Amino acid sequence: MGAFIPQKLLKDTCAAVRKAGEIILAHREKPKNIRYKGRIDLVTDTDIAVENALKETLSRILPGASFMAEETAGQTEPGNLTWIIDPLDGTTNFAHGLPMVAISTALWRETRVEMGIIYLPVLDEMFYATRGQGAYLNGRPISVSQTTDPEKALVATGFPYAVKENIRPVMENLENVLIRCQGVRRMGSAAVDLAYTASGRFDAFFEAMLHPWDVAAGWLLVLEAGGRVSQYDHAQDFNLKAKTILAANETLQKAVSGMLKNMP
């Protein structure tokens, strides 16, 4: 399969994502109408507004493509041509005024992600990748960390919304990594974690029970930045239905994989 993403499509999509980011910036200091989808799972009017804006613009950019988006997920599997969107990854951060929030936009074609964009509007950081063309941050090429020694590795993770029901395996995996690595960070946004892993800021990232819109764009970013993405078992390739994700350079990934147990 040859190159699918023309530069104009990438440029137009980045512009659409940046424009949607202006909504997040405009809403940052305003009162937030917070609702709960679960015990600790938030949604705000900003999530909905960003998603609607993206859908409107992306429908014009690529007519005929379907959508898999967090707040209106009408489908659980992508079609032949599907935008996979998380309009505001890090909603809890946003609700508390923290800057680590991101828009994650991926374009899926047939069997794989062809384009991934993660934009951090508060920090004005645009990460993007297209299949076979490398990964970039604000126009500059990025690559995963070359750290291979776990004791020198800064590792990112996150906790599932169902953490109460899964506290034992979550804490066991956290402990195993924490005592063997340089440190562990929890940013509150899987999209940010994957973008930062792709750019070498984090040496590795692991998390369980994520959704396709959390990881689709970041998955491609890490691959195009020279990394590998698998399930906790490094021998199992990652896919959108996987319960776990582990991203790093290949050597470090195998080492971290040995510290993790699959979720029940």
Give 130's DSSP letter: E
What are the structural domain ranges in the chain? Answer: 7-141, 150-257
d(CA 212, CA 44): 20
Question: CA-CA distances (angstroms) from residue 109 to 5, 57, 80, 206, 216?
Answer: 10, 19, 5, 25, 12
The count of C-alpha atoms lying within 13 angstroms of the C-alpha of 48, restricted to the half-sphere facing its C-beta, is 8
pTM for this structure? 0.93
pLDDT at 238: 97
d(CA 190, CA 206): 9
pLDDT at 2: 45
| Burial 33-69, CB ≥16 within 10 A → b, else e | eeeeeeeeebbbebbbbbbbbbbebbeeeeeebebbb
Count CB-CB contacts under 10 A for residue 243. 13
> Cβ(155)–Cβ(203) under 8 Å?
yes
Mean pLDDT by 10 residues, the chain (264 residues): 78 98 90 53 76 96 92 72 95 92 97 97 98 97 98 95 84 96 97 98 97 97 98 96 97 98 80
Give 227's DSSP letter: -
**Among the residues of the chain, which ranges form H helices?**
7-27, 45-61, 91-95, 167-178, 190-198, 212-224, 250-257
Contacts of 154 (CB under 8 A, 6+ apart): 181, 182, 183, 184, 185, 201, 202, 203
pLDDT at 74: 57
pLDDT at 1: 38
pLDDT at 31: 54
Q: Please give the backbone phi and psi of residue 252, each rounded to the nearest 5 degrees, phi first.
A: -65, -35
Q: What is the CATH number of domain 7-141?
A: 3.30.540.10
Token pair, residue 216, equals 């689709």
| Three-state SS at 32 | coil
The top-level CATH class assigned to 150-257 is alpha beta
pLDDT at 214: 96
